[in-house]
Chain A
Amino acid sequence: MSSQTSTTAPVQENYLNCSHGFRSWFFTLDHKRIGVMYLASILTMFLIGGLMAVLIRTELLTSGQTVMSAQDYNKVFTLHGAIMIFLFIIPGIPAALGNFVLPMMLGAKDVALPKLNLASYHLYVVGAVICVLSVVLGGVDTGWTFYAPYSTTTNTAVTIITLGVFILGFSSVFTGLNFIVTMHRMRPAGMGWFKMPLFLWSLYATAVIQVLATPVLGITLVLLMVERLMGIGIFDPALGGDPVLYQHFFWFYSHPAVYIMILPAMGIISELVSVFSRKTIFGYRAIAYSSIAIAAFSFIVWGHHMFTSGQSELMNMIFSALTFSVSIPSAVKMFNWISTMYKGSIRLATPMLYALIFMFLFGIGGLTGLFLATLATDIHLHDTYFVVAHFHYVMFGGTVIAFLGGLHYWWPKMFGRMYNEKAGQIAAVIIGVGFNITFFTQFLMGSQGMPRRYYDYVDKFAIYHQISSIGSYIMAIGFFMVAIYLVQSLISGKKAPRNPWGSAALEWQSASPPVHHNFEGDVEVLDPYDYSAIAYDPASGDYVRVGSEVKA
């Protein structure tokens, strides 16, 4: 903190330009740089996973072979799933945006355990390289769930990719562990648990799941690798093993994992809705508690993935009922966001557009989840495109859209530049429209019985597949636009003020981009949702604390 304050005069020194060179980035302990590196990495993975998705949709334009063989198709959809889940969406919001924002929201200089934070990133890189290596070494054709016994007998590179995912698990655990410790030990005086921004509550709930669920995936993957390498027989029915045990183990992690994906997204929406409605968040405590409730429920619903795997009827009924109960805390959040907007002064900036798209799509995604939680309907819908559509409405329509909202929201803080607002709005609409064209049709064909993951289909599904594929191209155009104007903003974007959106949360008290140790002086802890304390100052084009002078 010492040197930075004195040297801010001519060329603003900040975390981006305070040191140079590859080593100053790759071995940095600064949470902001680690966050930016994570961001670049996950966006790269999103690009690869997205290209795979476009390949899948292109193959399905016509029945029979269009651009690739059935075997290649199996590999492409497996890698699409594995890359998107393990390399993009799980680390996406917490490790990239969360890493950058969390300590700043606490007014802290860094996360509690910076070396562990860097270790988490390095493990991510190693895991990502190994996963991508599996493509070179023959690919994987099991689907991202690696179900035994197929995964233990196929001769594709399953061992390599599970090793990669195992390492990524450590990366995820380290991030979550670090966040929990940081929130417990680094909160400033005056910031009790219920004065934290809601994004932090959601990151806390996420971190709890990361710490408690990921080790179980770890041991599952170890058993899978041991099974493949040594034939240990734990999941192999021919040796007395039980393949359904694999499914239990896998979903004990992977169902909570979908809440690792959605909870931080919900946290972002809580911030966006309040800031862009210029209104205190409605039902703060209800939203905070609902994050914890979702985290708790996440551990007791995994059996709904095995309704058709030979579970007992009683188990099915219990898991079905528990699954329904997840909708309560989710709906609590939804109602509170809508109530926050009620009579608010809503500004339809790009992040807010994404927040609205989120509510619309997550609403559909959440409600169709109930169809799948109902035992009778699930027998019909299990393993159809209905599941694919539901999953993408929640994960893409929910998490990815919220990620985009958060990315646009914190972009000025991260890089000190504004993006082209008009382009941002147009791209958001294109992505929203393209998404619905792609995935709503999948609800229709799924409910008529089109099975997921199939390479071929009967003629009556042709029109749905074609519409869905066209929708995916529209989405691709939207993402292409986002990439262009974000890169353009880095090069020639307008300089961002400290607080372009008028938020009262602490991270906006720093410079844009922040200095190496985040804040130039001491931070003043405010209520993060008290907008009466923040007013627009036309002279500087920035939002400032009411009564305070414009800073030099």
Chain B
Amino acid sequence: MSMSGAHAKNPHLQHHFESMEQQYESGKLGMWLFLVTEILLFGGLFCAYAVYRANHPEVFHYAHQFLDPSLGGFNTIVLIVSSLTMAVAVRCAQLGQQKALVTSLALTLACAFLFLGVKYVEYQHKWKHGLLWGQKYQAQGHEAEAAPIMLPAAAAPAAPADPEASQLPRAAAQPQGTVLHDEVVGTGEHDAPAHDAAHGPEGEAPANAQLFFGIYFVMTGLHGVHVLAGIAVIFWLLIRAMRGEFGPDYFAPVDFTGLYWHVVDLVWIFLFPLLYLID
């Protein structure tokens, strides 16, 4: 038996498949299963979110006010647009519209970079003001002018109540990594008034506000890693598209990457309201 007709006709058909259709269907099922694992990966984090929000509603209510919903909303639109351009790219690949395929992939990439750029601005703001996780978190209030623009000015005058405590950033005193728990307990007496005294943008800063930022950074961080991975794959698609590799006979990589990109978008669509738009 020599190379069967199907294999001779299409160089993209792998030896163990009988037809392009079988190959395409296999790849597609594989991709969907992979996306199921992605959902479950994020599922663990959504579960952690639900547990901590149920246990500490006041933390979420207080801390979410440090996130800027207009930036988050802008990023949501950016990602939805990128999903649209990705879907257009898939269609162009199927129809063999070479130029439009390259353009829409490039637009998708541009949106992805724009999203990360906005994310960078947000992260930088939080980094500057100690709105971080665990030991790195610094209770807010003594530096209200540092809070996001959208916060009411009334947030300011907390510090005088206990200047010593509020000027003692929790993280600064303690080394990172091999943290002894006793230390936390030991400084707890100072911490507690610091928290109590530090007024948030609206209401008192509750204890354990760092939990929110821990979850915020892990969730958006993992999502950001997925955006980066998407950028790498779309970039690779762009190069192949410019070489003219895709067409009505072979468009599976564009199709499957599109599915992945939509899931990345979808995860963000859940992250945005859960983190930015609490009540």
Contacts and interface: CB of A to CB of B under 8 A. Distances in A.
Q: Do A and B bind each other?
A: yes
Interface string A170-211: 000100011011101110000000000000000000000001
A177 B30 contact: yes
A176 to B, nearest CB: 8
Contacts of B42: 219
A211 B33 contact: yes
B214 interface: yes
B44 A219 contact: yes
Interface string B61-100: 0000000000000000000000000000000000000000
A184 B28 CA distance: 12
Interface stretch (A20-28, A111-119, A312-320, A381-389): A111-119
B211 A240 contact: yes
Interface residues of B, dominant DSSP: helix
Given A231-B135, A234-B48, A239-B135, A181 B29 contact: yes
B134 A236 contact: yes
Interface in A517-547: 517
Given A185-B25, A223-B48, A211 B36 contact: yes
Given A109-B15, A114-B16, A184-B29, A239 B208 contact: yes
Interface stretch (B102-110, B173-181, B232-240, B260-268): B173-181
A211 B38 CA distance: 10
B76 to A, nearest CB: 23
Contacts of B17: 112
Contacts of B278: none
B1 interface: yes
Contact of A231 (B25, B37, B55, B176): B176
A228 B215 CA distance: 15
Contacts of A7: none
Given A177-B34, A181-B33, A245-B48, A239 B184 contact: yes
B142 interface: no
Contact of A223 (B16, B34, B52, B218): B218
B36 A212 contact: yes
Interface residues of B, number: 51
Taking each of B15, B40, B178, which has the highest tally of chain A beta carbons within 10 Å of its own beta carbon?
B40
Contacts of B2: 2
Contact of A1 (B1, B30, B185): B1
A108 to B, nearest CB: 7
A439 to B, nearest CB: 34
Given A177-B33, A218-B41, A231-B177, A108 B16 contact: yes
B124 interface: no
B37 to A, nearest CB: 4
Contacts of A177: 30, 33-34, 37
A232 B44 contact: no
Taking each of B134, B176, B217, which has the highest tally of chain A beta carbons within 10 Å of its own beta carbon?
B134
Contact of A239 (B1, B48, B211, B222): B211
Nearest to B40: A215
B56 interface: yes
Interface in A234-288: 234, 236, 238-242, 245, 249
A173 B37 CA distance: 8
Contacts of B37: 173, 177, 211-212, 214-215
B199 interface: no
B16 A233 contact: no
B203 interface: no
Nearest to A178: B30
B48 to A, nearest CB: 6
B10 interface: no
A233 B211 contact: yes
B207 interface: yes
A216 B27 contact: no
A5 interface: yes
Contacts of B22: 185-186
B29 A180 contact: yes
Contact of A238 (B27, B51, B181): B181
B133 interface: yes
A233 B210 contact: yes
A233 B26 contact: no
A231 B183 CA distance: 14
Given A230-B134, A233-B211, A245 B29 contact: no
B41 A219 contact: yes
A180 B25 CA distance: 13
B167 interface: no
A342 B112 CA distance: 65
Taking each of A110, A228, A230, A241, which has the highest tally of chain B beta carbons within 10 Å of its own beta carbon?
A230
A238 B36 contact: no
Given A232-B134, A234-B218, A239 B210 contact: yes
A214 B44 CA distance: 11
B44 A249 contact: yes
Contacts of B52: 234, 242
B264 to A, nearest CB: 15
A222 B184 CA distance: 24
B48 A238 contact: no
Nearest to A116: B30
A231 B134 contact: yes
A486 B136 CA distance: 57
A370 to B, nearest CB: 30
Nearest to A185: B26
A153 interface: yes
B201 to A, nearest CB: 20
A551 B179 CA distance: 72
Nearest to B179: A231
Contacts of A219: 40-45, 222
B3 interface: yes
Contacts of B44: 215-216, 218-220, 223, 249
A245 B51 contact: yes
A69 interface: no
B253 to A, nearest CB: 13
A212 B185 CA distance: 39
A444 interface: no
A155 interface: yes
Contacts of B27: 113
Contacts of B181: 149, 153, 236, 238
A388 B39 CA distance: 34
A226 interface: yes
A185 B36 CA distance: 18
Q: Which are the 9 A-B pairs with shortest beta-carbon distances?
A: A240-B208, A219-B44, A233-B134, A215-B40, A231-B134, A110-B16, A109-B16, A215-B41, A112-B26
Given A219-B43, A219-B222, A239-B184, 9 more contacts: A2-B1, A109-B16, A110-B15, A177-B37, A180-B33, A223-B218, A232-B217, A239-B134, A249-B48
22 contacts: A109-B16, A177-B37, A178-B30, A184-B26, A185-B22, A186-B22, A212-B36, A215-B38, A216-B40, A216-B41, A216-B43, A218-B44, A219-B42, A229-B177, A231-B177, A232-B214, A233-B211, A238-B185, A239-B184, A242-B51, A242-B55, A517-B15
Interface of A: 1-2, 5, 108-114, 116, 149, 153, 155, 173, 177-178, 180-182, 184-186, 211-216, 218-220, 222-223, 226, 228-234, 236, 238-242, 245, 249, 517
